[in-house]
Amino acid sequence: MNKGNKKEEGLKRIHKQTLLLNSKELKVIDIFCKKYKITNRAKFMRESVVTAVLKKMDEDHPTLFETPQANLFSG
């Protein structure tokens, strides 16, 4: 097996996840996909979830000097 095939093996999607939506959630996704001409919903969902996870992980990374967050609702 050459390196190209080995790299592709690691990227194979073999883990299945199921997502349940209520009628309103499905309707808003249908509208969004139609508006932005999204034809591959699996890719859209996958990219949306991974993007949200990576963004949150980036926001929550530990820092050397923790600074208190500004509270917009106090004083």
Q: For residue range 1-36, what is the model confidence (pLDDT) as tens digits?
A: 466 677 677 889 999 999 999 999 999 999 999 999
For residues 45-74, average pLDDT: 81
Alpha-carbon span 59 to 64, nearest angstrom: 14
Distance CA 34, CA 74 (A): 42
Domain borders along the chain are 19-56
Per-residue confidence (pLDDT) for residue 53, from 0 to 100: 94
User: How many angstroms separate the CA atoms of 17 and 40, rounded?
Assistant: 16
Which pLDDT belongs to residue 64?
A: 73
pLDDT, residue 71, reads 62
- Looking at per-residue pLDDT, the higher value among 60 and 28 belongs to 28
- DSSP letters for 2-20: -HHHHHHHHH---------
